[in-house]
Structure 1
Amino acid sequence: MKNFIQKIAKFLEPSKNLVLISLAFWVTHILLRVMLLFRSNPYGFPFVSKPDWFIFHAVCIDFMWICNALVVFMVLGGIATKIASSKCVDSRSATPAIQKVAKVTTIAYTVFHSVILLFTLLDNEVMRFLGGHLSFGLMDTYKDTSSIAMFYDYVANDLSVPYLQFVVLVLMLPLTYGLYKLLYKHYRTPDGLRMKKSVIAMVIFYIASYLFVYFIWTGNARMAKLRPVVSLVYNDLFVTKKVAGLTEKELATYRTSYQNLWQRVEGDNLWKFSDAKEGHGLPLYRVPTAELQNSEKLAAQREMKPNFILVLMESHRGLNTGYMNPQIQPSPTPFLDSLAANSHVWMRMHTSGVPTTGGVLSTHLGIPHHSRLAQATDLAHVTLPSFVSVLTENGYSTHYMSAADPAWDNLGVWMAKWYTAEHYNREREDDSTFMDHAAEFVRDTLSKVGKPFLATLMTRSNHYPFNFAAGMTEEEKARPLQERINVTMNYADRQLARFIRAIQNEEWYKNTYVIIMADHGFPLGENGVSTMNGGGFSNISWIPFFIHGKGLDVTRDTTTAAQIDIAPTVLELAGYAVPNIFMGHNLLRDTETILNADSTSVKKERAGLSLGAYSGYSALGLDNYRVVSKTASNDEVYLFNDSDMRQEHDLAKKEAERTAKMHATLDTLIKISDYSLEHGL
């Protein structure tokens, strides 16, 4: 062991300065992380509601990338030293050459870290201001000079500490230099024993950090929020840029294909796609005709000024919802079943994105989740309207209430764009206390503001690993996941019942549409999949969805539908037809009446379309079939009949021609969707 330590010390001696520089910059990065996570954003709200859930990961992530950079520079310096030594004729001439290489390496390493530190500060401020990381896409969005003036105004009006950014900018490099000098003085010992021990401690801490971040306490949303600048640059240069953008010719072809398909599914001519300037050339941009805007139906809905309560049930699977899967007995969702029995129910509803960020954003935007990017963080700077922003602009009081921390996965940034206010309290994370507060707020405050309102509720208790429900016994927690989810879904169902019963006798409730749905499902071994990143099968995509309220038929609708349909459907109920970029369809649109041979009239069944992107996979439901595919790949393609909700019979080989055609359509729609999300309005 002693010889091993001596060998390490001998190897590190020429790189001693690099090690000390690394430690000094690491301490400065820790200080920047503290200033980011424990401060409010410029608008006076906490940047994250649980900084203690982030800071240890941030410290470990920064330590790992700094150590990785240290190793790279040490290797490069070693190679340069070897080359310099080989060109010298004797050891005396080699010494100055080696010293020169060491000096150049030290200067380059210091400059590298100084630049990264400056961009880290800028990235932190961009996160506080816009909610997204500094990226090439963001810089392209805000490349004009007016952005500089905007940034100065934001700094001056920062509700945390005005102008603190400039103070940090001036002091952080001198502070780092001071830390380096202190470390250099501390480690200046003849035997180098302190350095030996510290390096061993660094190796141990690196291993511990890796295990902590990637195995012990993981979290993709947190990791996306804490990505260091070096990772952002690498991602922009070598990952994101690998996917070629659409050429003008491709865009024109895809636009025509998409718009023709949309009109075919819509079934009428009440919307027109527009290439007008305000549409910015987006293939999704469509405008209502005068006939639609002036329709008596929309006017009557606007006059009614209905309220909306949208409840997003965490991880509620169609496979475990009683009214959707009668085979499961007893039903885990008796209240949901009873409410659905008096509502307009869509039996073939699919999520348009996973995880929660995907489902929630798809529901609001009417566009599937991005197929490659972490949309909530990577595209936070893009202007994307939602159905909520339309309601807010038209006088609605809109409130987003979540039992889970919306700052965790950056959803809070998006909700702040659209809603009048957000509600989250760390002490109300259980669905029981959350629903109690929501009922009280809606009943005693929101219903009395003198405006129609939208209250969106996001539950939490039915979340993987399905042991969050209050009062679960040890026996219940020990059950397999496939059984445990029934316990947590039942618990969430009971809390939903308490919420509805607390408000259903209020006078305003008669003028309220209650919309119940899930954000997504969860794979529990079906189709050979047991992780969220394992495919787009019905175990993750098939979800409950129904609307209960005045004037709606009580029916079980088998129209193929998806979360992208929510936005246009809610606006129809509110009586608004506005230009939009929704890919979905109004699920309550009028259908054509046709005559049978015996002269009896029936309404033609609505055409439907479902579309979603699911962590590397995508899926399309159309013309009574559903294709599931690994995104932009022919390696994995499955085809199912739309009525095969368990997706037990793959028809891809039997229906090869249909599979190829639907797969091509899916590829087109996903490319159009991604393009539209990246460009916004």
Structure 2
Amino acid sequence: MMKSIAYLLKAVGKGLAPLQNLVLISLAAWFTHILLRVMLLFRSNPYGFPFVSKPDWFIFHAVCIDFMWIANALVVFLILGGIALRIAGGSKGIGSNGAVGTKGKTVAKVTTVLYAVFHTVILLLTLLDNETQRFLGGHLTFGLVDTYKDTSSIIVFYDYVANDLSVPYLQFVVLALMLPLTYGIYKLLCRWYRPTEGFYIKKSVIAMLVFYIASYSYVYFIWTGSSRMDKLRPVVSLIYNDLFAAKRAPGLSEADLSAYKTAYQNLWQQVEGDSNWTFSDAKEGNALPLYRVPSTELVNSEKLAAQREMKPNFILVLMESQRGLNTGYMNPQIQPSPTPFMDSLAAHSHVWMRMHTSGVPTTGGVLSTHIGIPHHSRLQQATDLAHVTLPSFVSVLTENGYSTHYMSAADPAWDNLGVWMAKWYTAQHYNRNREDDSTFMDNAIEYVRDTLAKEGKPFLATLMTRSNHYPFNFAAGMTDEEKNRPLQERINVTMGYADRQLARFIRAVENEEWYKNTYVIIMADHGFPLGENGVSTMSGGGFSNISWIPFFIHGKGLDAVRDTTTAAQIDIAPTVLELAGLAVPNIFMGHNLLRGDSAGLSLGAYSGGYAAIGLNGYRLIAKFPAKQETHLFADDDLRQENELTGKLSEVESRLSGYLDTLLKISDYSLEHGL
């Protein structure tokens, strides 16, 4: 291969102009890609909201990412061209003195034309991918094409373009001018770029190599961000992932789907413990394994009717990285408690002591909380499945007259959560000047108290905090001494800060009249591993350091209880709807935690390919789907200090089978939606 490249460069230096043009084509295409990125990142989406709230945090990464993949493509075509030239060597190719023959020039021209066609196709697909992200929130993938392959989608797309609140029909203008612009830039570069005996070629190679190294260092070491990288994935990466990446697992056969569906539904009914729900396909012929409908008796029950009559408000607070291991009432061994206010509020609330996150990182925890289904075991759900229709408990509240608002101290556009919230909530609120929990809570207090509470309708206010985030030095006012503490100690400082801001919010509204008719739900999106069980990274497993989280509900009619039912974030959606008095057909995998049955099930899929299930007194953690690594603990061993792996093979085998069934059904349901 290196000989082919050296052979090629030697020929280029001797005047093989068509292959010199590969560099110019690359630069022209790169310039156009930069313009497309600017038009994506600095514009609003079709609905009038910014595509990203911090375009300046994205654009430099986009420029570097595009340069790197274009440079990689250039190298591939140079290698192929070099190989072709070697094959075409001799008197008609390249002579021993490096002179270029007729056949060599023909090979070079063909290589150049193919390279130009390649970039033409990629530019067109990039524009389509950009518009797909703007309209649907996710990338252009084979899965999306399969979902919207009906010709009626083309008509709908035209209607969207016509009503684009950014600039109507701009997409068609860009489509018409994009390729001529690239060609014009290429011609300008040809006039400016006049290589002589390889001198300019060598300078170009050196300059591109230096910029490539700088780009790689910037993107992967200096300022990293997996969510941003996922949002900025170029089309070539999307195509490669769809065609070759291991995460493309084969779909379930009809027989397998039927078997998994039956096993899941039987287990769900067993855990639920009553006959108030019946599984049924929404439409004849549809395979919807999770779809269930309430009985008439449940819908018309006095209990639910009384809750509907109340029209209670909801305040859901999602605490960033709030570990059960560092929450005072959950782990009294931590002294002094980092969370004194949460401890005091929990003392007067219904507390679930064995609550686990159903997804990691934040996108996993937040989405599984809303839709009642664990995070996808392989895909980046927030981006890869943004086109799928998945209802949430919020959408049910919105459809039933609630004013629903998502308020976040962190940018919801960063990891594509904003796309999902726009599907379900009446409105979402974020301001980059209010990213500290103190200023964020100030605004939340004002908006909830002075706006939502005065609209004359019940409301849901979801608050997502930020200050307690890795590397746990975001809290305002931290001293240098506190910032220099080990992570295991520093998290107590930031959790304490977040706890104080939560206290400020509650104390500012608790004396309002409407608060008496409000359920306050406090929970975390996920925990964080800090060396326990030998794990110190988010992708290192599903141990309790990352999965065990606080969760309690405070409000009218709820007694102070320390509930030891095994639970997970997938249970929150049906539980909230129970408090709202709403029983509707749904695809939630979780259970209503207020139903009075002690049986429970926890289920989660975590980054790094781990998954976990808690059932019948045990919790199994496994590397999924191969399960080459498993860990078994007693369910009440919340700090997971006594591993039982290898001691209870029958329990491990049974839980492993359930885990496989549940995740295959949940993955299938996430990919197909409702």
2-structure distance, mates of 1:633, 1:220: 25
- 1:40 corresponds to 2:44: yes
Letter in 2 for 1:461: S
Q: Which residue of 2 aligns with 1:17?
A: 21
Task: Name the SS for the 1:277 alignment partner.
Answer: coil
The 8 Å contact of residues 513 and 548 in structure 1, kept in 2 or not, is answered as yes
Distance 1:225 1:278, change over 3 A: farther
Q: Which residue of 2 aligns with 1:613?
A: 605
Q: Which residue of 1 aligns with 2:190?
A: 184
Q: Which residue of 1 aligns with 2:321?
A: 315
- 1:481 corresponds to 2:487: yes
The 8 Å contact of residues 346 and 552 in structure 2, kept in 1 or not, is answered as yes
Report deviation, 1:8: 9.8
Letter in 2 for 1:416: A
Q: Which residue of 1 aligns with 2:238?
A: 232
2-structure distance, mates of 1:82, 1:7: 7
The 8 Å contact of residues 323 and 548 in structure 2, kept in 1 or not, is answered as yes
- 1:564 corresponds to 2:556: no
Overall identity of the aligned pairs, in %: 79
Report deviation, 1:341: 0.3
2-structure distance, mates of 1:642, 1:11: 69
Question: Residues 444-523 of structure 1 correspond to what in structure 2 (within 5 A)?
Answer: 444-523=450-529
2-structure distance, mates of 1:431, 1:277: 45
The 8 Å contact of residues 247 and 378 in structure 2, kept in 1 or not, is answered as no
The runs of 5 or more residues in structure 1 that have no matched partner are: 1-5, 592-605
Scaled by the length of structure 2, what TM-score is found? 0.96
For structure 1, which segment, 82-91 or 176-185, has the greater mean C-alpha deviation from structure 2 after superposition? 82-91
Task: Name the SS for the 2:413 alignment partner.
Answer: coil
Q: Which residue of 1 aligns with 2:3?
A: none
Report deviation, 1:331: 0.3
- Which residue, 116, 134, 137 being the options, matches 2:122? 116
Distance 1:279 1:128, change over 3 A: farther
Distance 1:89 1:478, change over 3 A: closer
- 1:655 corresponds to 2:648: yes
Task: Name the SS for the 1:620 alignment partner.
Answer: strand
- Which residue, 627, 630, 633 being the options, matches 1:634? 627
2-structure distance, mates of 1:136, 1:384: 19
The 8 Å contact of residues 93 and 104 in structure 2, kept in 1 or not, is answered as no
Q: Which residue of 2 aligns with 1:69?
A: 73
Distance 1:327 1:12, change over 3 A: farther
- 1:404 corresponds to 2:396: no
The 8 Å contact of residues 523 and 531 in structure 1, kept in 2 or not, is answered as yes
- 1:83 corresponds to 2:87: yes
Report deviation, 1:192: 4.5
Report deviation, 1:279: 8.7
Task: Name the SS for the 1:244 alignment partner.
Answer: coil
Distance 1:86 1:278, change over 3 A: farther
The 8 Å contact of residues 439 and 499 in structure 1, kept in 2 or not, is answered as yes
- 1:586 corresponds to 2:592: yes
Q: Which residue of 2 aligns with 1:670?
A: 663
Letter in 2 for 1:630: K
2-structure distance, mates of 1:391, 1:279: 29
Report deviation, 1:197: 2.0
The 8 Å contact of residues 342 and 548 in structure 1, kept in 2 or not, is answered as yes
Q: Which residue of 2 aligns with 1:281?
A: 287
The 8 Å contact of residues 94 and 104 in structure 2, kept in 1 or not, is answered as no
1:565-621 per-residue CA deviation (whole Å, 9 max, x = no partner) reads: 000000000000000000000000134xxxxxxxxxxxxxx1000000001100000
Q: Which residue of 2 aligns with 1:254?
A: 260
Distance 1:86 1:650, change over 3 A: farther
For structure 1, which segment, 513-522 or 631-640, has the greater mean C-alpha deviation from structure 2 after superposition? 631-640
Letter in 2 for 1:354: V
Task: Name the SS for the 1:309 alignment partner.
Answer: strand
2-structure distance, mates of 1:141, 1:356: 26
1-structure distance, mates of 2:282, 2:28: 54
1-structure distance, mates of 2:86, 2:595: 75
Task: Name the SS for the 1:363 alignment partner.
Answer: helix
1:190-218 per-residue CA deviation (whole Å, 9 max, x = no partner) reads: 35434322221110111111111111111
The 8 Å contact of residues 351 and 543 in structure 1, kept in 2 or not, is answered as yes
The 8 Å contact of residues 321 and 544 in structure 1, kept in 2 or not, is answered as yes
Report deviation, 1:91: 4.1
- 1:554 corresponds to 2:547: no
Q: Which residue of 1 aligns with 2:159?
A: 153
1-structure distance, mates of 2:237, 2:637: 42
Letter in 1 for 2:47: Y
For structure 1, which segment, 355-364 or 94-103, has the greater mean C-alpha deviation from structure 2 after superposition? 94-103
Distance 1:464 1:672, change over 3 A: same
The 8 Å contact of residues 526 and 547 in structure 2, kept in 1 or not, is answered as yes
Report deviation, 1:658: 1.0
Letter in 2 for 1:558: T
User: Considering only aligned residues, what root-mean-square deviation do their CA atoms show, in Å?
Assistant: 1.7
Q: Which residue of 1 aligns with 2:638?
A: 645
1:34-56 per-residue CA deviation (whole Å, 9 max, x = no partner) reads: 00000010111100000000001
Report deviation, 1:325: 0.4
2-structure distance, mates of 1:241, 1:658: 28
1-structure distance, mates of 2:401, 2:566: 32
- Which residue, 410, 429, 437 being the options, matches 2:435? 429
Q: Which residue of 2 aligns with 1:595?
A: none
For structure 1, which segment, 201-210 or 488-497, has the greater mean C-alpha deviation from structure 2 after superposition? 201-210
The 8 Å contact of residues 84 and 94 in structure 1, kept in 2 or not, is answered as no
The runs of 5 or more residues in structure 2 that have no matched partner are: 1-5
Letter in 2 for 1:580: N
The 8 Å contact of residues 187 and 195 in structure 1, kept in 2 or not, is answered as no
1-structure distance, mates of 2:369, 2:84: 55
Task: Name the SS for the 1:35 alignment partner.
Answer: helix
Distance 1:661 1:75, change over 3 A: same
1:151-191 per-residue CA deviation (whole Å, 9 max, x = no partner) reads: 11111111111111111101111111111111111111435
The 8 Å contact of residues 513 and 550 in structure 1, kept in 2 or not, is answered as yes
1-structure distance, mates of 2:501, 2:247: 46
- 1:413 corresponds to 2:405: no
Letter in 2 for 1:608: G
2-structure distance, mates of 1:422, 1:580: 24
Distance 1:189 1:354, change over 3 A: same
1-structure distance, mates of 2:568, 2:412: 23
1:353-393 per-residue CA deviation (whole Å, 9 max, x = no partner) reads: 01110000000000000011000000000000000000000
Report deviation, 1:278: 6.9
Distance 1:589 1:278, change over 3 A: farther
2-structure distance, mates of 1:129, 1:242: 24
Letter in 2 for 1:482: Q
Task: Name the SS for the 2:314 alignment partner.
Answer: strand
2-structure distance, mates of 1:649, 1:279: 48
Report deviation, 1:635: 1.0
2-structure distance, mates of 1:39, 1:201: 32
2-structure distance, mates of 1:90, 1:339: 82
The 8 Å contact of residues 91 and 101 in structure 2, kept in 1 or not, is answered as no
Report deviation, 1:145: 1.1
Report deviation, 1:239: 1.5
- 1:272 corresponds to 2:264: no
